Structure 1
């Protein structure tokens, strides 16, 4: 591709903007003040695949935009680079550092979930994970969501310890979108290690936020679900 920069990405993306799609986004994403131009996420992701070679400085330019779809595009490119086996270690480090340094621009649940598992979790897979516990204690709800979302990468390999430990830190979280993420990844961890999930629920179900518990027990059999709901 001749022009591989943020400006060309934006030009191409804006070719697909649609007022009806913009209104749908505005109805769906009621939480926050993002600007939407009305480009379907499937189109954003397809364009990100074309622009997979975008370097970190150009990705940061996209992250600086007020347009939600442009930031989603940047994070989709980051995710695709992090997933790609031939991406070198120094680029993986750059992506990880960019994500954390510009977390101020990763300010909605879908943006976190787009890149946290592979960009953050993938980078930390063979490294100390203290940063996730710092994020879990942050005053910023999106950083707390990143902490639990990043563990999705570990869950894939059956490494569920950090998911349960971070979920324990988030039990008293005030935010619904953190409850949902925590419950969802507890459920995924439980698919890998059902005994560990049941032990966690026996200890914590009584104090878990309702939506967190509901998400966490979705894959259990009906009698087990009823048991843990009764503990509340």
Structure 2
């Protein structure tokens, strides 16, 4: 474990050396880390995502799940994001047992994935595929969607991207209906995005969902869902919302 902690510290130092302090204020605003924002108090180093992916490629043959978990515990946003990226790398090459361990870790540490970029870059490629291949565990989606923590609810929605890519839409549609009354804009955006992905693969499935739910959908959710519709179709669907 000491060597693992040593590598996590080395990676943290490597991220810090890539930092651009002059970009930190803009990042804090963009990710709503200022007082009153959904990520108030988060800390940034000013490192770009391509730089983090470069580090991940350089270290992926050395890093363990323990290393990645240590990175997720960091106070720095970009270090946590590196941990998430590395877990995706590991998951893609892991056997079934190791994939279960990674999926379990994602569930355990979702509170450390405390912004939309951290969720969206990891959950659809780790927890999502694992749940898809393990139907007996899919109750986790409902448990996450029922949680008070915003990031758990977003994780539930984004995990279903793995199901969508496999041509299964039921979980996404069920969660979309369940979360129609969610108060947070980040959930509206995530649900609308996943509905749009359903429609990209089967337009009739999406339109059937909209026929039932469009009038009660939050406007942001609805707009995201119908982005690929024609202007005339978008106008007609949005008119239903106004009635």
TM over 0.5: yes
TM range (shorter): over 0.9
Q: What is the Cα deviation at residue 83 of structure 1?
A: 2.6
Q: Name the structure 1 match of 2:122.
A: 115
Q: Name the structure 2 match of 1:38.
A: 46
Deviation digits for residues 119-176 of structure 1 (CA, Å, limit 9, x no counterpart): 1111112212111111111111111100110111111121111111111111000000
TM-score by length of 1: 0.94
Q: Which of the numbers 19, 22, 32 marks the counterpart of 2:21? A: 19
- Please list every run of 5 or more consecutive structure 2 residues that lacks an aligned counterpart in the other structure: none
Q: What is the Cα deviation at residue 227 of structure 1?
A: 1.4
The answer to whether structure 1 residue 76 and structure 2 residue 85 are counterparts is yes
What is the CA–CA distance in structure 1 between the aligned matches of 2:233 and 2:142, rounded to whole Å?
30
Q: Name the structure 1 match of 2:101.
A: 94
What is the CA–CA distance in structure 2 between the aligned matches of 1:5 and 1:89, rounded to whole Å?
25
Q: Name the structure 1 match of 2:10.
A: 8
**In 2, are the aligned partners of 1:154 and 1:160 still within 8 Å (CA)?**
yes
Q: Name the structure 1 match of 2:55.
A: 47
Q: Name the structure 1 match of 2:217.
A: 208
Q: Name the structure 2 match of 1:148.
A: 157
Q: What is the Cα deviation at residue 13 of structure 1?
A: 1.2
Regions of 4+ moved over 6 Å: none
TM-score by length of 2: 0.90
Q: Name the structure 1 match of 2:193.
A: 184
What is the CA–CA distance in structure 2 between the aligned matches of 1:56 and 1:182, rounded to whole Å?
30
What is the CA–CA distance in structure 2 between the aligned matches of 1:50 and 1:167, rounded to whole Å?
38
SS in 1 for 2:196: helix
What is the CA–CA distance in structure 2 between the aligned matches of 1:101 and 1:154, rounded to whole Å?
21
Q: What is the Cα deviation at residue 45 of structure 1?
A: 1.5
Deviation digits for residues 64-116 of structure 1 (CA, Å, limit 9, x no counterpart): 111000000000111122233xx111211111011101112111111110111
- Please list every run of 5 or more consecutive structure 1 residues that lacks an aligned counterpart in the other structure: none
What is the CA–CA distance in structure 2 between the aligned matches of 1:230 and 1:76, rounded to whole Å?
41
**In 1, are the aligned partners of 2:45 and 2:78 still within 8 Å (CA)?**
yes
